[in-house]
């Protein structure tokens, strides 16, 4: 039977917006829905998606998402997912739980690898083992090893969500959505509430899979340059094994109500800071199916708050009532959209003022009308983003899939939001005719909309202790209900779980997981065309690449022309350049012009070690992009910014400063591992030291100091900013990096030269920096229920000579020893280990971790693990393939051009890259053991550095075992 007999073609069309030929199918036997997009993108995407509406807060959908990839009928090993991480060329490999769906996407540039990933995922979702031990490991279980010891909760998702519930931003998002959907599945937390997760039983967990993980409830997506016949044939091998099943997974509509509820919640705050409140106002909107309304609301989102000069954003920020905006803006990825806006960093006495300001600003926009230039800027911003479809390292196909699911998941056409060109033109025509589209939308959906809520999140300095006390009491009550026999059963189950986790997989079963061989790897390194030249006295890199008609222009300023005292200013200075306005244009007019004429002008701070040098490559880049007709405008805008930026607007600079501080504070819990790693690495290299002062904890402390200075010595701050501009805005400090198609490069060369000709040439020398980080181990307190544990060790004294195999070995550690010890057995959400051969430092970190001492012990055991006798060449082979996949990560044209510039600045030429690749491909077990012995020696000779960010009690308890030379509270 051919695939035409198994599938019914429902619709076929060309979608010019994404350069794809689309076919929509249904599998006749099961009614599985399939969307197949064919195009020239080599980064192929497959995903199987299920509607999984939660009915409570136990997190069953989330725990199941973790668990189905832990062994299946065909791939009977503990974690096929991890084996794929080790041995695949994947460009994306993960699973994602949303409020109403669970997605299992994979992507790869290699065809055989792509089908290998697809096969493992299909077998995993349809035939998972779902062992009780997997549920206990990934979800939750009681942990106890002695009949007299107290019970504890343990589980990966349990600790992941403890981390999520420690973040005020995450809580605000959840509470805002729940408040507006009181009668809908969106009123529950699909991720799981840590207080409720222990209510989930193993039986309910497996029942959820039986109910929803069936082809009749599946939405299957293909994208890329592979053959459609082969896609469908391979898919049918699984779908044909099932029969049609009636599944009630419909997402029910939230009935529009006359409601104006006020929800007041709390978040954990420290005793030593001055914590403030959050507020959002939230409105229920229509469903996602009307393409023009959907696009109009997305434009309105840009108009109101999406740009620095947006009127609602400006009114809120100018008010000084809070530090930054809060709320997600327009949420359009679920069945019914909603709009959420507000502020964070509000004094409690000003909460009602913020709410009133939002109302009055919206009414004023309706009465007075919206500035037409703001509307043009918003439309251009959204249209540029849609047409460029620049998803960074994220596969383009996945972005297209999520756009399709926004309507397809609810039984509407998947093409509704893909085909935006005609809809956008109609909107422009309506505007040209004088129609007040966006004023009418504000009036109808915000001002007159009675289905709304106000969510207030207040600081509670005793909440962290109360949460811990409630958990302890919950565990004590559970213990009291248990008989001695039941306690012994739990101890036995814990022992069985530990045995399950520590057991090795059957080598024959491991061999069944499909993978490429070392011989399948490309021997030659991927290169990017680059011309190194000089234009008008400025060092210039040119990359002729196919960019779909977009001109990418990067302008990098060498920070070594600055004294080191100015480094913490750089992120603020970069934002000031594009958000403070100029002599002739205030910041609203300038930021609006940038949005109208370009695809974006963004400051990016870059700092990296240079091969063979002690100093680092440290730059502030202005990264810009434009369509061909607007390239002259782009150069004029950058010229005006450099020549005439207004750095004297005190109020505007303070707004930027408060936004930066607030954003840094809010990122501490979601990205604690990053702060830990950067804090540790800053002790060893100039580049990391500089980066820590521009984006780490030192930067946050500087921001707080600068806020106090604003009222005392603004004149000094202003002088500092102008001095930075003088020291950077000259030809010797500049590097130009251009990525575009040949015809665009030629067409605008004169424009580029004229721009550079207008730049001054100063006689300024570079500065010498002296790194002055505090040494010693650190414990940093934050109000969180989890920890982020970091450790560095220097390989300098081991006399280890860098070999590419070390990159294979350190990557293997992440996916094996660290994964098993810290995530699987320790219950943390993640763990990392990376070797930076430029600074000769090995850095370890854990993420959302319930432990500290156990994690540090796991870090210390990495060396002995690599020299264990039970490791074999097959494990090395898999790790080599994974390392090559990481080396060959997929990049869009602008990223290729920028990566080439980074390699130029850090002295990494293609000969060196080829040498490293050759060494990776030749890696053997001997190399693993050599690197393992090196790590063991390093740990013995140099105690290294430890940094822990976590809750006060946990960090203090750990300090009884490890020496923490420096302890302080950061928030």
Name 9's Cβ contacts closer than 8 Å, sequence gap at least 6. Answer: 23, 24, 25
Asked if 411 and 228 count as a contact pair (C-beta separation under 8 A), the reply is no
Which contiguous run of DSSP H or E holds residue 558? strand 551-558
Torsions phi, psi for 708 (to 5 deg)? -65, -35
Within 713-748, where are the H helices?
Answer: 714-728, 742-747
d(CA 291, CA 423): 7
Catalytic residue among 17, 65, 331, 741: 65
Asked if 221 and 45 count as a contact pair (C-beta separation under 8 A), the reply is yes
Nearest CA-CA partner of 356 in 339, 342, 338, 370? 342
65 is annotated as an active-site residue? yes
Burial 821-832 (b: 16+ CB within 10 A, else e): bbbbbbbbbbbb
Measured from the Cβ of residue 329, the count of other Cβ atoms closer than 10 Å reads 18
Edge-first strand order for the sheet with 277-287 is 259-268, 451-460, 277-287, 336-346, 324-331
486 is annotated as an active-site residue? no
Helices 697-712/570-579 angle, 10° precision: 60
Which contiguous run of DSSP H or E holds residue 267? strand 259-268
Nearest CA-CA partner of 693 in 559, 569, 568, 780? 568
Specify burial of residue 499 (Cβ count, 10 A radius: 0-12, 13-18, 19+): exposed
Asked if 695 and 702 count as a contact pair (C-beta separation under 8 A), the reply is no
C-beta pairs of 476-485 under 8 Å, 24+ apart in sequence = 476/150, 476/151, 478/142, 478/151, 479/150, 479/151, 484/147
Cα 388 to Cα 19, 549, 742, 900: the distances in Å are: 12, 9, 18, 21
d(CA 48, CA 33): 10
Which contiguous run of DSSP H or E holds residue 38? strand 33-38
Indicate the pairing of strand 551-558 with strand 734-740. antiparallel
d(CA 163, CA 142): 19
In sequence order, what are the beta bridge partners of 603? 622
Within 181-227, where are the H helices?
Answer: 202-212
SS3 390: coil
d(CA 648, CA 582): 10
Nearest CA-CA partner of 75 in 140, 121, 132, 143? 121
Torsions phi, psi for 222 (to 5 deg)? -125, 145
Cα 280 to Cα 298, 307, 323, 355, 624: the distances in Å are: 19, 19, 14, 8, 33
Per-position DSSP letters for 240-257, written without gaps between them: TT----------------
Name 445's Cβ contacts closer than 8 Å, sequence gap at least 6. Answer: 283, 285, 286, 297, 339
Catalytic residue among 17, 79, 136, 138: 138
Q: Can you give the C-alpha Rg of the chain in angstroms?
A: 28
d(CA 526, CA 848): 36
Torsions phi, psi for 146 (to 5 deg)? -135, 135
Report, as residue numbers or ranges, the catalytic residues.
Answer: 65, 138
């Amino acid at each position: 039977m051919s695939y035409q007999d198994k599938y019914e073609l429902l619709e076929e069309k060309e979608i010019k917006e994404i350069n794809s030929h689309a076919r929509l199918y249904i599998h006749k036997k099961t009614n599985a829905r399939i969307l197949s997009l064919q195009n020239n993108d080599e980064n192929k995407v497959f995903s199987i998606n299920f509607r999984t509406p939660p009915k409570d807060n136990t997190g069953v959908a989330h725990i199941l998402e973790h668990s189905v990839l832990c062994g299946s009928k065909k791939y009977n090993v503990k974690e096929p997912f991890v084996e794929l991480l080790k041995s695949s060329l994947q460009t994306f490999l993960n699973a994602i739980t949303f409020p109403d769906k669970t997605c299992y996407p994979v992507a790869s540039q290699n065809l055989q690898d792509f089908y290998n990933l697809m096969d493992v995922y299909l077998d995993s979702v349809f035939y998972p083992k779902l062992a009780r031990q997997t549920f206990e490991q990934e979800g939750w279980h009681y942990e106890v090893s002695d009949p007299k010891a107290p019970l504890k909760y343990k589980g990966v998702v349990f600790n992941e969500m403890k981390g999520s519930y420690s973040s005020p931003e995450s809580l605000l998002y959840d509470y805002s959505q729940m408040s507006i959907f009181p009668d809908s599945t969106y009123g529950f937390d699909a991720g799981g509430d840590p207080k409720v997760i222990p209510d989930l039983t193993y039986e309910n967990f497996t029942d959820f899979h039986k109910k929803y993980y069936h082809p009749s409830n599946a939405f299957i997506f293909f994208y890329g340059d592979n053959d459609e016949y082969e896609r469908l044939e391979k898919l049918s091998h699984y779908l044909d094994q099932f029969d049609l099943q009636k599944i009630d997974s419909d997402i029910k509509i939230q009935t529009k109500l006359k409601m104006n509820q006020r929800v007041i919640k709390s978040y954990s705050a420290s005793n030593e800071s001055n914590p403030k409140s959050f507020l959002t106002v939230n409105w229920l909107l229509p469903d996602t199916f009307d393409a023009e309304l959907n696009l109009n609301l997305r434009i309105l989102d840009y108009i109101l708050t999406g740009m620095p000069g947006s009127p609602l954003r400006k009114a809120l920020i100018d008010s000084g009532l809070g530090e930054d905006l809060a709320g997600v803006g327009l949420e359009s990825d679920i069945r019914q959209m909603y709009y959420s806006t507000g502020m964070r960093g509000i004094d409690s006495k000003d909460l009602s003022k913020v709410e009133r300001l939002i109302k009055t600003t919206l009414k004023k926009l309706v009465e007075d009308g919206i500035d037409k230039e703001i509307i043009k800027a918003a439309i251009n911003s959204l249209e540029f983003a849609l047409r460029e479809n620049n998803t960074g390292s994220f596969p383009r196909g996945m972005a297209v899939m999520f756009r399709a699911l926004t309507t397809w998941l609810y039984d509407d056409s998947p093409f509704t939001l893909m085909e935006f060109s005609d809809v956008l033109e109609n909107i422009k025509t309506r505007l040209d005719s004088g129609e007040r589209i966006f004023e009418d939308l504000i009036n109808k959906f915000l001002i007159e909309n009675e289905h709304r809520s106000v969510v207030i999140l207040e600081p509670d300095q005793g909440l962290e202790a109360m949460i811990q006390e409630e958990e302890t009491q919950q565990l004590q009550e559970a213990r009291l209900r248990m008989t001695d026999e039941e306690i012994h059963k739990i101890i036995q189950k814990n022992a069985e779980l530990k045995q399950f986790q520590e057991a090795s997989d059957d080598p024959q079963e491991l061999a069944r997981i499909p993978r490429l061989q070392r011989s399948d790897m490309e021997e030659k390194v991927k290169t990017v065309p680059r011309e190194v030249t000089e234009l008008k006295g400025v060092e210039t890199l040119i990359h002729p690449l196919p960019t779909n008609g977009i001109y990418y222009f990067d302008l990098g300023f060498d920070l070594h022309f600055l004294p080191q005292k100015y480094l913490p200013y750089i992120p603020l200075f970069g934002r000031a350049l594009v958000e403070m306005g100029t002599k002739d244009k205030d910041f609203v007019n300038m930021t609006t012009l940038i949005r109208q004429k370009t695809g974006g002008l963004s400051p990016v701070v870059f700092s990296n070690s240079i091969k063979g040098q002690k100093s680092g490559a440290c730059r502030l880049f202005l990264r810009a992009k434009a369509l061909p007709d607007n390239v002259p405008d782009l150069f004029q805008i950058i010229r005006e910014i450099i020549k005439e930026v207004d750095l004297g607007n005190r109020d505007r600079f303070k707004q930027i400063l408060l936004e930066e501080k607030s954003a840094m504070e809010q990122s501490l819990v979601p990205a604690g591992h990053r702060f830990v790693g950067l804090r540790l690495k800053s002790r060893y290299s100039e580049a990391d030291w500089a980066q820590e002062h521009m984006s780490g904890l030192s930067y946050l402390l500087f921001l707080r100091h600068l806020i106090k200075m604003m009222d005392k010595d603004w004149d000094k701050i202003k002088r500092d900013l102008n001095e930075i501009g003088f020291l950077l805005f000259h030809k010797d400090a500049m590097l130009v990096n251009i990525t575009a198609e040949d015809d665009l490069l030629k067409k605008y060369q004169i424009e580029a030269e004229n721009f550079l000709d207008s730049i001054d040439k100063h006689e300024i020398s570079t500065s010498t920096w002296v790194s002055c980080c505090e040494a010693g181990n650190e414990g940093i307190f934050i109000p969180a229920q989890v920890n982020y544990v970091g450790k560095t060790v220097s390989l300098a004294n081991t006399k280890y000579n860098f070999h590419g195999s070390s990159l294979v070995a350190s990557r293997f550690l992440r996916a094996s020893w660290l994964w098993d010890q810290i995530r699987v057995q320790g219950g943390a959400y993640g763990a990392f280990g990376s070797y930076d051969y430029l600074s000769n430092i090995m850095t370890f970190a854990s993420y959302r971790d319930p432990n500290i001492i156990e994690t540090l012990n796991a870090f210390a055991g990495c060396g002995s693990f690599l020299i264990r006798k039970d490791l074999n060449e097959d494990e090395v082979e898999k790790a080599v393939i994974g390392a090559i996949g990481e080396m060959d990560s997929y990049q869009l044209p602008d990223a290729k051009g920028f990566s080439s510039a980074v390699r130029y600045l850090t002295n990494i030429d293609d000969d060196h890259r080829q040498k490293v690749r050759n060494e990776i491909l030749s890696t053997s077990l001997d190399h693993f053991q050599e690197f393992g012995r090196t790590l063991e020696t390093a740990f013995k000779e140099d105690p290294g550095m430890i940094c822990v960010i976590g809750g006060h009690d946990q960090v203090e308890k750990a300090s009884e075992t490890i020496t923490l030379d420096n302890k302080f509270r950061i928030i």
